[in-house]
Structures are given as structure tokens and as C-alpha cells.
A and B are shown apart, each in its own frame.
Chain A
Amino acid sequence: MEAKEQVKTTAVKGTDMARKVRGLVKNIYKSAHEAKAEGKKVAYFMVASQYDEIIRAMDVVPLPTENYAGLCAAKRDMDRFLLKAEADGYSQVLCSYARIGLGFDSLRKELGGIPEGAPDGGMPVPDMMLGSSAVCDPRFKWYQAAGRYLQVPTYSIDVVAPPVYADLNAVRDYYIKYQKEQMQGLISFLEAQTGRKMDKERLWETIRLSDKAWQLWYEIDRLRVAIPSPMPTQDHFSIMVAGHYYSGTQVAVDFYQGLYDEVKYKAENSIGVIPDEKYRILYGGGLPPWHTLWIFNYFESFGAVFVIENVYRGYDPVEVPSHVKDPVEYLAWRAYLRFTQRHEKARANSGNPIVERLLGMIKDYKIDGVVFHACRSCRATTVGQVHLKNLLGQYTDIPMMQLVSDMVDLRDYSEAQWKAQIGAFIEALAGRSA
């Protein structure tokens, strides 16, 4: 029996540049297939792991498995991969990005080729898998587990950050040293895989491009303080592709330049996302509901626009000391500075660097309410949201709410439940502005 046609669930974007991202995403997978055909190296890799520039500088083509999972969810073609992983013995509460990735690898192995109709042509078999411990544990365990389906060289790096109460003067040197050594280890691995030595000048070049792109990205987000909002959160989840998956390339710089021009124009001419912006919402945390990004438009139907977000975010620009002359050391310093950029502020205030960032956003972006998304299968971005709400509540009394589903697994999402919660939230916002 055939299934009845389903409704579209992707979001309507606010900016033209965001609409161009579909092409950028398609290109990621197209490039990977082309690279394989040309005999170039392709690597599974994890986003936000502080090693993009190293991979790019070695001419290895990165294949972002987490992004692929999000893509499958947006196209509502994730079930077969989730189910395959579960049939292979992976728990239903395990990170759903990992379940989709493992399920895809499993099906590809079983079928002897890309599963039919896989979104954007699917992922080719990589030449290597590069994990990291940044952000969460599945991001290095996943590729180790994938060894079941793919016997390819696998290497993971540690990404470390001092806890907020550490005495930074006492620990800085050895944190940076370790980070540098971890990155050096990756370089040695890639040299062995590609048969080439790392060109330090090339590495500096990719770092400069990456820093330039992220600087532009930061400035775009500063423009978004404008009222009405010139670029909403659903656009962020598209335009982040440049900064996270094209980091170290001219493509990312050009894209953000184009986006900057568009957002600047809109900000200066008071062109908002919707004609009647009533409430400005902060997306406080949690991976986005890739399966139903249209929910942002649903909020907009009540006049509520998500003006800024704190997930898949870039870091505020940091200033690596000028005495650092080696590019790998630069990367280690940069990572350290990024992770500790709000430590001092936190120690003097709330004790939590994320809270400091959110408080800054609430103030700068004139936020009326905060929405968190708790994902049942994502410990990393979900565990601690209640704590953030509790802490924030000590500094502000704006309404906050936590919506629960999963980032890609539809089985945890209830539209009826969400609409009821959103309705109550809008009423709370309306009550305050009255």
C-alpha cells in the first residue's frame, strides 16, 4: 500500500542569501562524489571541532555526517536509516545524528551502493573518518562504531576547555600545549594518508580565510540587533553552512560578504522578516528541529520572530597573541581563547559562561521571550537547559519555554503538543506587552 502525500515542513526564509544555501549543501555531497571519482581523499568529519583548516589545507574533502542527518530529516527521509541502525542494535535514545549516519553506512554496505533516492545523492564511502571530542562523546564514538561497516583509517582528536572555575593562569599553558599536540597528531595522520607534507603557508592561508569569514559572520549577527529583525533564526540554520562546512575557503568569505550586504541593507531600511513584528524571541539552545523548521513560520503567524540564536553559533572574534608564529599553535591558542572568552565575566556574575552570553543577547537584541529546544537524543545541547533557565530567571523575568522533540527523529515530535505550548507562550508574551 502507498503512503498518502505529506505536507511540506521546511521553513520559509527571510533573506535571499539563505535561499542560496540549498545549492551550497548540494555541492558538499556533489564535491565528495567528484573527489572520489578523481581519486582525491574524502573524510567524514564533525562540525565545530577546531580542525577544519587543517583538513582543508591538506586538500582533503570534508563530508559532514551530522549535516547529512539534518538534511535527511529536512527531506523527511530519515526513517529507513534510523530503523536500520536500531535493527543493528543501536539504542533508540542514542544520538539520532549517529543513528542516521550508522544506518546509512549499514544500508550502503548491505546494498553495495548508495541507497536509492538518498537525499542529494547520498554520501560516498569515505577514505577516512575524523572524529573529535569537542562538544560531546558520540562525536568520537560514532566513527569508532562505524568501523563495523567501513574499514577505513579513523582518527579522533581531543578538544579541551578549562572549566569556568579553573585558575586560567595555572592551566593555560598545558591546555594549549595539549591542544597543539592533538592537532599535530591529526596533521601527522593526514600526512600519512595523503602522502604529502603539510604546507604551513597553505595552512596560514586557510586560517586567514576562515577567520575572515567568521569575522564577517560575527558582524552580520551584530547587524541583527536592528528592529525589526533583518534576518531570522531559520535563516541562521541555513547560512551557518558557510561558516561550519566551508570554513577555510573563499566560498565562505564571498557568501558572508553577500549576506552582510543584504542584512545591512535591510537593517538600514527597516525591512523586517514580517510586516508586523510583535515579539522578539531568542532561540536559547538545543539543536534545531530539522524535521519541522516550518515551526519558525508558525511562530511568525503570531507576530513572533526569532531574532537571534545560541546554537551552531560562531565564536566572538578572539585575539591570538602576536608572538604566536606557528599556525598549529595559533589554532590551539584560538580554540583556548574561544572557549574561555566569557570565563572571567561568568566568575564575576552568574558562574556560567553560556548564561553570560544569553544575558548579553537578551539585552542587545531587546528580547521578549526565550525558547529552548530539548532533543531527546542529544545529551550535549539538552542537558543543562533547565539549569540555564533557572539561572537566567535570577536576572530577568521574561517568559521562557522548553519545547521537546528530537533534532531529526520524528517519533518524538507532537505537533498538537507544540501548538498548545506555543499558544500559551504567546499569551504570556501578549500579557506582558499589554
Chain B
Amino acid sequence: MPFAGIDIGSTMTKVVIVDRKETILASVIGPTGVEHRHLALKVMDEAIGQCGLTFEALDFIVATGYGRINVPFADKQITEITCHARGIRAIFPTVRIIIDIGGQDSKGIKLDTGGKVANFVMNDKCAAGTGRFLEVIAETLGVKLADMGKISLAAREYVKISNTCTVFAEHEVTSRLAEGATIPEIVAGLHESIAGRVVNMVRHLGIEKDVVVTGGGAKNIGLVKAMEGKIGFPVLVPPEPFLTGALGAALLGKGFFDRGMIRDHERRLESVTFFK
């Protein structure tokens, strides 16, 4: 009796399949692809193959993420807020605050003592405070995004970057370099800037222990340290930050199935479409 969760992000699609006992049977991360939307279906196929099942054997499929709206093979679609909350709760039962720093948006989620979502905040209107901000500046500096964390740890001081507009920040970075700032100092400054924005957004919820950081940003050690500095205590990071949404979706699917939830529509194993 397996359950599947599929998290279709703007750049990556993640699938997690769990069994009755909530053990993970399969997990796959693949590209969503802008032109080739059927790649989401491929990721689904791969996951099913990984655990030697068939599509029909899946008792409930929940879709989440940016592309969740038009998923012909999903039984229900749920927002990533609810799914991340469920997934992380399974990994860290003491979690009260989740901070998700994604490529295109960042979120703060507050859970109550029962593990339910009590409140949330989102920043999806602007690049600053997201991975995109770092990506753009990394290119300006000529460094790899994946190395940003390590590089920043080499700095003793950070250079304050005031601008939150990505374009303005690029100019500011160039000016600072010309004034003699080092790349580690600038990268550290960028992390401070993002951490400041994100933590401030989350403060709106009232920060309490335990705090879990997830999403792509969780893999950046420099950013995580900067956030701990702002929060004032250490944070927890899941072993696979990219998969927590899909995991939560699968677990929610199990919940729906157990409660006899009716499917949204008849599911078909077809390509995902983003536009009607």
C-alpha cells in the first residue's frame, strides 16, 4: 500500500514513495525542464521503477509545488507549505519553525504543538532573499554557487550589502570589489543580507525552538551560519533538504487515503501541463 508525493518546482521535480509504515521506498530528484514538461512524468516513472512497483499500485498520489495545479496523475494537490510542514515534522518531531530558502522564493512556516500549520509567510515577489539572488551575484563574482558557503567561511569580516534589489546589489558588489573588498568578505555579506531578510520575515511568526532550515539554501553552510547568528541559536537541517516537500506530500496522501478521501478527479498517467 504505497503512497507517492511529487513536488514539481520551477527547476526540479522531486518524488518520494513511502509505504504504510512511512518508510521511504524510493526517492528521485530530476529536472522539471521548462520546455520539456513531461520530464516530471519521467521522474515519477523513475521512482516507481526504483522500488519495483507499478503506477496502479499507488494508493494515493499528492502533488505539490509550483506545478501542482495540472498534474493528471495526482489524486490531490496541496500547497508546499502544508507539505513541507508534514515532511519535516516526520524528520524532526520537535520542529516549531520551518525556514525554506528556495531558488525562487522563501517561506517561513509555524507549527503548533499538534504539528499543524498555524501561520506562514512567503516572499515570492522578489529575488532578494532567495537562491536566485546568490546565483546572479555568484556569476558576477565568477564563482560556483555550490562553493559560496565554503568561500564565505574564509572571511573574518563581512562587507555590508545594503541593496535588496538584485540588480542594484550587483552594482554595489562591483563597487566594493573596486574598493578592495575580498570575495569571501562579499559572499559573507551577501549571506548576511539574505539571512537578515529571511529571518526578519520569519520573525513575524514569532521564532521559537526548534527551527529547521530546508530548501536549496540549507545546503549553503555559510548562509545557515549567518541565519543562526540572526536567530540566536543553532538550527536543524534535514539530511535531504530538497525532498522534504515530496515526503510531506506522500505522508499527507496516506492520511487522505486512511480517511477515505475522494480523489479530485480520475487520474491518468500523462504529462504534466503548466498551462490549461
Interface residues of chain A, those whose CB is within 8 Å of chain B, are 1-4, 6, 79, 83, 86-89, 410-417
Contact = CB atoms under 8 A, between A and B. Distances in A.
B260 to A, nearest CB: 39
A4 B181 contact: yes
B162 interface: yes
Contacts of B45: none
Contacts of A89: 204
A18 B40 CA distance: 66
Contact of B172 (A3, A4, A415): A415
A215 B185 CA distance: 53
Interface of B: 155-160, 162-165, 168, 171-172, 174-175, 181, 185, 188-189, 192, 196, 200-201, 203-204, 226, 229
A416 B171 contact: yes
A3 B196 CA distance: 13
B171 A87 contact: no
Contacts of A411: 162-165
A87 B162 contact: no
B162 A413 contact: yes
A414 B171 contact: yes
4 closest pairs, A vs B, by CB?
A416-B171, A87-B203, A414-B168, A83-B200
Contacts of A416: 168, 171-172, 174-175
Contacts of A412: 165
Contacts, number: 61
Nearest to B167: A414
A3 B203 contact: no
A4 B160 contact: yes
Given A414-B168, A416-B175, A1 B200 contact: no
A4 B163 contact: no
A2 B189 CA distance: 10
A87 B185 CA distance: 27
A417 B163 CA distance: 12
A105 B55 CA distance: 58
A416 B170 CA distance: 10
A417 B200 contact: no
Nearest to A420: B171
Nearest to B126: A92
B45 to A, nearest CB: 44
A3 B160 contact: yes
Contacts of A79: 196
Contacts of B226: 1
A87 B171 CA distance: 28
A4 to B, nearest CB: 5
Contacts of B155: 1
20 contacts: A1-B157, A1-B192, A2-B157, A2-B158, A3-B158, A3-B159, A3-B189, A3-B192, A4-B158, A4-B160, A79-B196, A83-B200, A87-B200, A87-B203, A414-B163, A414-B168, A414-B172, A415-B172, A416-B172, A416-B174
B162 A410 contact: yes
B204 to A, nearest CB: 5
A91 to B, nearest CB: 12
A89 B201 CA distance: 9
A413 B171 CA distance: 11
B188 A6 contact: no
Nearest to A410: B162
A219 to B, nearest CB: 40
A334 B63 CA distance: 67
B106 to A, nearest CB: 14
